[in-house]
Amino acid sequence: MDGISMWVGTWNVGARDGEWEAPPVEGQYELADFIDASCDILLLTLQEHMTNFIYALVSGLLELITPSKFSRLELPQSQVGGLGDGAFLQPKYTSIACWVRRDLLARGVIQLLRTAIVPLGMAFGSKGAAGVALRVGRARVAFIGCHLPASSNQARKEALDFILRRSGWLLEGHSEPIGTGAAHVVLAGDLNFRLRPDLQPPQAVALLKDGHASSLLAWDEGKDEMRRGGLLVGYEEASMGPDFFPTYKKKENRRPFDMRRPDWMAAEYTVVHTLQWYKGGGKEWRLPAFCDRVLFKQAPRSGSQLGAVASSYRAIYTTPPKPTHRLLNMSDHSAVCCSLALRNQNAPHRSTSIQCLSSPALPAPSPPASETFWPSLAALGLRMPFEQTVPSAPALPPLPSSMSPAGGGGGVWVGSSSPPGSHEDS
């Protein structure tokens, strides 16, 4: 097989999915602009959703346009729940779902290895991560759907460090961050990357209003983190085209995007945000930001190559004359997607379709002490330790020398958020 294609999507629903009252077929029609059903594997991570309605729409859409092509994998651990803004009486969730071509499952080309959840704790509600590890041919790929804190850049870094280390233990069976082992990693979700505060709000608004959205990336926290190395050393991101606009903070239930209108900026974004009464009230600047992202990291010496499909990295919005997207426009976040291709390194390279971005060689971050605490949580009176030394996880099964038949993955540990005998809670 020349390669395996993967579509990865992320959307922060903003706890609005319970308000959809139109017929399901209308939602499926809209999602057809978002999902690439020509791929072999479909991964979707949602944040702040309150029901499984969106996932049900996706399954219905796939059965409509590609009958009997996909099966949704049963993931024993797939969501982190908690209360928060817009969800005081019932929880909202960060979760992940996966659909795979049935013929590839039957032939054993793609196999489920492990699933995991990494909650950040009650203070952070539904924020955290849900992950799934797949064997894809002779390679391993770990997908992590993530929602990081919005409070500060420091809180985001600490949460991301915690998630990457826990995911390394739960999905790969070692105490190092995920991505240092044998698996390729795809990290997607509401990573809450903001624009640095040295960018003045009027300057940011002017750049965006004039259509220079890509210029804002010079102040983007995520790009800074990838350039400096640190937690995101080795991670790559496909190129954002000129029509990849900031994904947050959008107007809820907004009208179709139309830059021809002089008031398009005010109709699309909430730039001055009114705080909830329980957060002190008042108003604050809320600069548009590229919060929702798809990043990936190639495993060293894996024998395979993971790259982004050119021009597939999109922030979804609608433009006239398309009908109003009531589903995809109801949240204050844009949905984001990217298609990836996994190929054997011996396979012919198609430079016109695969975009592999090289990363500079940077030293790995120093390991922490055996027990560290998140300083940003100390102000809340919380102590959230991360033990670097953990019991040995069960050995992963060896890579096959050839494609095994369906059901040939006997003995693979699937679904438990921590392996037998572990004393840690996920």
Give the per-residue pLDDT at 161: 97
Residue 367 clears pLDDT 60, i.e. is over it: no
- Stretch 373-378: mean pLDDT, rounded? 41
* Contact between 43 and 98 (Cβ < 8 Å): yes
19-to-22, 80, 90, 180, 262 alpha-carbon distances in Å: 9, 21, 14, 42, 30
- What sign has the CA pseudo-torsion 277, 280, 282, 284? negative
Beta bridge partners of 100: 41, 71
* Closest among 15, 156, 124, 132 to 74, alpha carbons compared: 132
Q: Give the pLDDT confidence score for residue 153 in this predicted structure.
A: 94
CATH superfamily of 4-255+287-387: Endonuclease/exonuclease/phosphatase (3.60.10.10)
Give the pLDDT score at 386. 36
Could you please report the per-residue DSSP string of 9-32? EEEE-TT-GGG--S-HHHHHHHHT
Residue 99 pLDDT greater than 60, yes or no: yes
Check: pTM over 0.85? Answer yes or no: no
- Check residue 405 and give its pLDDT: 29
Residue 229 pLDDT grade (very low, low, confident, very high; cuts 50, 70, 90)? confident
pLDDT above 60 (res 208) = yes
Q: Would you say 223 and 238 are in contact if contact means Cβ atoms under 8 Å apart?
A: no
Q: Are 416 and 118 within 8 A, CB to CB?
A: no
Q: Is the pLDDT of residue 95 over 60?
A: yes
- Identify whether the C-beta of residue 278 lies closer than 8 Å to the C-beta of residue 348: no
The backbone torsions φ and ψ at residue 66, rounded to the nearest 5 degrees and listed phi first, read -135, 70
CB 46 within 8 A of CB 13: yes
CB 148 within 8 A of CB 159: yes
Specify the higher pLDDT residue, 345 or 403.
345
Contact by Cβ (8 Å): 395, 421 = no
Q: What is the pLDDT of residues 256-315, one digit of tens each?
A: 888 888 888 888 998 876 655 555 566 677 789 999 999 999 998 778 999 999 999 999
Assign 78 a pLDDT band (cuts: 50, 70, 90).
Answer: very high
- What share of the chain in percent tops pLDDT 90? 57
Residue 100 carries which side chain, given as an amino acid letter?
Answer: V
Q: Name 296's bridge partners.
A: 186, 236
The full set of domain ranges for the chain reads 4-255+287-387
